[in-house]
Chains A and B, each alone.
Chain A
Amino acid sequence: MMQHDPDQPFDAAKVDDPYRVAPLGPPAPSCIDPETGLPRRRVARLSEIPVEARPLILLFVDQRLLATDVARDTGEQTIEPTHEALLRQWSLLQSWLADDAGLLTMMDEIKRASRDWIANDKVTAWLIHGADRLEAAERSTGLRDAMLAGQAEIGEMPISLAVMDFTFLGGSMGAVVGEKFYRAAELAVDRRMPLVSVAASGGARMQEGVLALMQMAKTVAAVDEVREAALPFVSVLAHPTTGGVAASFAALGDVVIAEPGALLSFSGPRVVRQTTREDVPDDFGLAESNFRHGHIDLIVPRPELRDMVARLAWLLAGGNPYRRPTLIPDLGAQRAMGRILGGARRRITDMLPDRDGA
């Protein structure tokens, strides 16, 4: 390694072999901007630089080509180019970057993908890249989207039922969920049946952009149809019901039932804490808290849910004598209900309790 006199200006010609750093891998304090394909500055940890190359790096630091700093979180020493122009004008560096552009972009994408995967609780669907995430969700859940809808019978009362499944992309509401709910409402109106929905959703499907937002209005329009037809709507809120679903059809039931401990809020606790720095109470957004604040009518545990929905369907239908469904614990039906609310894999007609079952 060459000797360097800090009082002398830096002269690249005096570096005995400037190419010797090239085989050490991509120059750490630079990367390729994935959007523009141009080199971009980045902050590199000094530990990323191979030991042999460090004296040269320190020489660059002396010459104010690179700047050092200490990372606030880890306390590690970092380096970055002092000026963006260095990356554009330094032809040697440019040629190394050009050689490694493909590799650098790929490295960057892999890092991003792994970060996304970890940030999303290591859900398998996030491992799939290049392919459609929607297809991945279809494969892993066996569902076509986050809602199942159709005619059902509960306590001998025919109802139009729309049930969400949280395992399908977080139960998010996109165009398909909006349409399914709309058709469930249409079915209720056509056949003069009560509408019952079971929500379990993280909110609007951000991946579908503003059209996902519009599904809120679409489902509200559907509820308006049901109201206009003077038919009842019972909304069941399972864990969790948040965001755009909580703020659209799910909130509009003539009777709103929540499951115990279900998280029901527009903004989740993490978002509230991060944006407002407010202290979030332990029971923030839980069904019990919502009940105290007057947002829901009833809290009903899952085993009693079917019975309660059946009673309400009769009562809301008005004047029809309510015939109590069987009081014998119906484990089969409970399991079926659990399947509806959890990871449904069968057609909706298969899952509902048989009329003569139990």
Chain B
Amino acid sequence: MTAPERPRRFLRRRGGDGDAWHAVELARHQDRPYTLDYLARFCDDFVELHGDRAEGDDPAIVAGLGSFRGQTVAFVGHQKGRDLKQRAYRNFGMPRPEGYRKAMRVFELAGRLGFPVVTLIDTPGAYPGVGAEQRGQSGAIARSQLLMMGLNVPVVACVIGEGSSGGALAIGVADRVLMQQHTIYTVISPEGCAAILWKDAGEAKRAATALRPTAPACLALGVIDQIVPEPGGGAHRDHAKAADMLGDALAAELEFLDTLPPLERRRLRRQKFERMGAFIE
């Protein structure tokens, strides 16, 4: 494999244009459309499925079957709440293991019945709670990725807000990974990064700059395949238009993926993730 210089330079660059924190703030904007806002707008019909068939139903992840531009699609997405009560109910979009197991149940269903899978990513991360760990947070995140890796149906993922850490990636293993223009995708939230590296969550801005989580940065790294445009000023300014733009992008990707033979598609998906990361030998 070749040894590109780019990632090292990227790691060393400091300061920059200060856009990183702005991007974080936009991605977290409280008026941004969430998963259910999009589904309500671009699905003709949507039935939400509940429960992981083992120990509970996690409101931080919604999953179900929707009628999308003439075909049934299995949708899975993180869901945040808008007001205080909703936010607490949705646990700020931080899933527990039962959420990932619910997602996996729907992925498996889609694979068995041949529906394409679309996931919408918008989470500050998996929920860091005692119970969540006891019920197997790590294993759930890992198995969800493995299940997605092996699906024989087309899979498209799109970051529609915050894509932080394994909690995002758990439903982010897809043939085509998209990011909306004003969203972020990162290994950890800037606060988390600052808290762990410098034991000071107040250094979040410094961490955001270093993490470079913006869509163009992720595209340049090959982590995502395409940037989905948003209405002027951001998706929060015009939900209807944002949903149209996202819907069009998803439909185009599904149409393209449908032309590939299933096994080839699966092989390419795996190859794409196997090629992530640059190193020098």
Contact with A along B193-222 (1 / 0, CB 8 A): 101111110000000011111000110010
**Least distance between B100 CB and chain A CB atoms (Å):** 10
- Counting chain B residues whose Cβ lies within 8 A of the other chain, the interface size class is 35 or more
Please, which residue of chain A has its CB at the minimum distance from the CB of B135? A293
Residue B84 lies at the interface, judged by CB distance under 8 Å to chain A: no
Say if the beta carbon of A248 comes within 8 Å of chain B.
yes
Q: How far is the CB of A332 from chain B (nearest CB, A)?
A: 32
| B145 sits at the interface (CB 8 A) | yes
- Asked whether, in the complex, the Cβ of B277 is within 8 Å of the Cβ of A266, the reply is no
* Interface contact A210-B218, CB-CB below 8 Å: yes
User: DSSP class of B's interface residues: helix, strand, loop or mixed?
Assistant: helix
Closest to B150 in A: A224
| Residues in chain B near residue A279, CB distance under 8 A | 130
* Number of A residues, CB within 8 Å of B: 60
Contacts of B133 in A (CB 8 A): 265-267, 272, 284-285
Given contacts A116-B197, A210-B213, A265-B133, are A247 and B11 in contact (CB under 8 A)?
no
- Give the residues in chain A near B24, CB-CB below 8 Å: none
Would you call B22 an interface residue if the criterion is a C-beta within 8 Å of the partner chain's C-beta atoms?
Answer: no
| A212 close to B (CB within 8 Å) | yes
The 8 A CB mask of B266-281 against A (1 = contact, 0 = none) is 0000110111111100
Q: Which of B27-35, B105-113, B183-191 contacts A (4 or more CB under 8 A)?
A: B183-191
The residue in chain B whose Cβ has the minimal distance to the Cβ of A220 is: B145
Q: In the complex, which residues of chain B have a beta carbon less than 8 angstroms from the beta carbon of A276? A: 128-130
| A221–B274 touching, CB < 8 Å | yes
A119–B198 touching, CB < 8 Å: yes
Question: Contact string, B130-162, partner A, CB cutoff 8 A, digits 1/0?
Answer: 101111111101110110011000000000000
Chain A residues closer than 8 Å to B271, beta-carbon distance: 221
Query: Are the C-beta atoms of B274 and A209 separated by less than 8 Å?
Result: no
Decide if B142 touches A248 in the complex (CB within 8 Å). Answer: yes
- Is residue B192 contacting chain A, with contact meaning CB distance below 8 A? yes
Report whether B276 and A178 are in contact in the complex, using a CB–CB cutoff of 8 Å.
yes
CB proximity to B under 8 Å, residues A290-330: 293-295
Could you mark each residue 177-220 of chain A with 1 if its beta carbon is under 8 Å from any beta carbon of chain B, else 0? 01100100000000000000000000010111111111111101
21 A-B pairs whose Cβ atoms sit less than 8 Å apart in the complex: A116-B197, A116-B198, A178-B277, A179-B277, A206-B188, A206-B193, A208-B7, A208-B277, A209-B187, A209-B213, A210-B223, A211-B221, A214-B277, A216-B142, A224-B146, A252-B143, A266-B133, A271-B128, A272-B130, A293-B135, A295-B138
Spell out B's residues near A (CB within 8 Å).
7, 10-11, 15, 18, 126, 128-130, 132-139, 141-143, 145-146, 149-150, 165-166, 169-170, 172-173, 185-188, 192-193, 195-200, 209-213, 217-218, 221, 223, 270-271, 273-279
